[in-house]
Amino acid sequence: MTTDPGHPAVRMYIAGQWCQGGARDTAPVVDPATEEVIGEVPLATRADLDRALEAATQGFETWRTTPVAERTAVLHRAADLIEERAPEIGRVMTREQGKPLGESTGEARRTAETLRWHADDARRAYGRIIPSAPGTVLTVRREPIGPVAAFVPWNFPVGGPNRKISSALSAGCSLVIKASEETPATAMELVRCYADAGLPPGVLNLVFGEPAEVSEHLISSPAVRLVAFTGSVPVGKLLAARAGEVMKPSLMELGGHAPVIVCADADPVRAARGAARAKWANAGQVCTSPSRFLVHESVVAEFTAEFVKAAEAVVVGDGLEEGTTMGPLANQRRLKAMERLTADAVARGATILTGGERPARPGYFFPPTVLTDVPADAELMSEEPFGPLAPLVPFRDLDEALTTANALPYGLAAYGFTDSAATAERLSAELQAGILSINHCGGSVHEAPSGGVKDSGYGREGGPEALDAYLITKRVSHLLAP
């Protein structure tokens, strides 16, 4: 297999050592902008996974008894390294995932801030003393749950893994994380920052491998006390079911199909510009990406004109090239999905206003695509596109829009645009989503919780709630000696 000598050689990280492991097989790492193989990733054997589990078990005993001030200091050093190395990490990320270099570098820098937040929040994982009977001390304590098995996808190659790593380590847990085989060097460079910051061996272990085999082995292990997953709804359901069979809690951050409701009293131009910026970020490959645009019929013409203008201003190209504002899709699977969803919508009567066809060039490129007249039975209206497709659908009254928005089994993110405080409160109360933004389409922030309802999962990441899944609540009733 021909690889790029300029791309980092991918290794796993087990028990404090970078290793190839006993890998009997490897998988190619492909640059989505060129379709060229730039590296290869070792796939863990069961023996590798067992070593990682043993290391995490021993690492937990070390880390859980490390004073919180010392843990915090190590994590802050790791955050400093992530920030310092952000340009280098960003370049590796763009080669593997495709997003523009500015987005990649920005993701790394935000990751450092997320780590600092969680590290400091661990100092506030307070217990409490409960008034009780004389001679009895009744307390509640928060303790780390134990070794964690984590699984993350490719769309945020640093931010995704770090949300699991930073929360688990801040809480005092150890971790075995399986990062994506499509963006392995990026995850490796993230883990290197923790290792170089002085994290004790075994506390953090990074593996790659065949997803079904790795997940089955890790979840079934008695060493693992929590399963943390970010990814698709179907895979999340399978992992949650497996965790349930062995009576383990799980944290599930799954997909969505985020509606955007643009009300009659909203500024349609401002709404279109804000929604477009969010839609084309990371080529639409974001779980919280706005993906169904429900626009009041009185403002739909103005919204549509501005939205199409914004789409046509996007510069699609190699993420390493100056001036690129949207890179390729991350893999051929997403490219085929865009072609399939677009063809289905058109076959059912939809009209393409811009985009819609893959350009004649190497790479997994697909342009920002805006569609109107999209019928309710089009696959695009019920299947998360996870790409740069934007169906625009007019509505007559808010009841109709809310019914459409809440009709799907997903409930991760939702967005609304209105100049009425009363309407904003109604959207807040009635939209079925774990994340709601009014008059903007902002993404996740480290100081506030993110997570879904319905099929979009359970548990929260970000904010003070981020540590909840990684901590157990222990009640201690102490009867004092007479």
Q: What is the pLDDT of residues 428-441, one digit of tens each?
A: 999 999 999 999 99
By DSSP bridging, strand 290-296 and strand 258-262 are: parallel
In a domain, 308, yes or no: yes
Cα distances (Å, whole numbers) of residue 32 to 87, 154, 362: 19, 12, 9
The pLDDT of residue 6: 84
Instruction: Tell me the CATH number at 28.
Output: 3.40.605.10
Q: What is the mean pLDDT of residues 320-324?
A: 97
Model confidence, pTM: 0.96
Do 239 and 284 share a structural domain?
no
In a domain, 5, yes or no: no
Phi, psi of 122 (to 5 degrees): -60, -25
In a domain, 282, yes or no: yes
In a domain, 482, yes or no: no
Do 287 and 224 share a structural domain?
no
Do 385 and 363 share a structural domain?
yes
Do 136 and 85 share a structural domain?
yes
Do 55 and 188 share a structural domain?
yes
In a domain, 1, yes or no: no
CA 115 to chain centre: 15
Range of 348's domain?
A: 258-444
> pLDDT band at 11, cuts 50/70/90?
very high
Do 298 and 267 share a structural domain?
yes
Dihedral sign computed on CA atoms, order 253, 256, 262, 263: negative
By DSSP bridging, strand 435-438 and strand 413-417 are: parallel
Do 375 and 421 share a structural domain?
yes
Would you give the end-to-end CA distance of the chain in angstroms? 75
Do 288 and 188 share a structural domain?
no
Do 199 and 125 share a structural domain?
yes
Calpha distance 370→304 (Å, rounded):
9
In a domain, 2, yes or no: no
Cα distances (Å, whole numbers) of residue 120 to 2, 72, 81, 162: 44, 7, 17, 15
Catalytic amino acids? 253, 287
Q: Which of 185, 187, 192 is nearest to 39 (CA)?
A: 185
Do 188 and 127 share a structural domain?
yes
pLDDT in tens, 323-363: 999 999 999 999 999 999 999 999 999 999 999 999 999 99
In a domain, 237, yes or no: yes
The pLDDT of residue 103: 97
In a domain, 29, yes or no: yes
Calpha distance 209→157 (Å, rounded):
16
Structure token digits, residue 166:
């930073």
Give the number of domains in the chain: 2
Do 293 and 161 share a structural domain?
no
Task: Please answer whether residues 181 and 41 qualify as being in contact, where contact means their C-beta atoms are separated by less than 8 angstroms.
Answer: yes
Instruction: Tell me the CATH number at 283.
Output: 3.40.309.10
> Has residue 1 got a pLDDT over 60?
no
> Has residue 300 got a pLDDT over 80?
yes
Calpha distance 116→270 (Å, rounded):
34
> pLDDT band at 2, cuts 50/70/90?
low
The one-character DSSP state at 463 is S
Cα distances (Å, whole numbers) of residue 108 to 211, 392, 463: 25, 33, 19
Place of tokens 């087990």: 14
Do 289 and 248 share a structural domain?
no
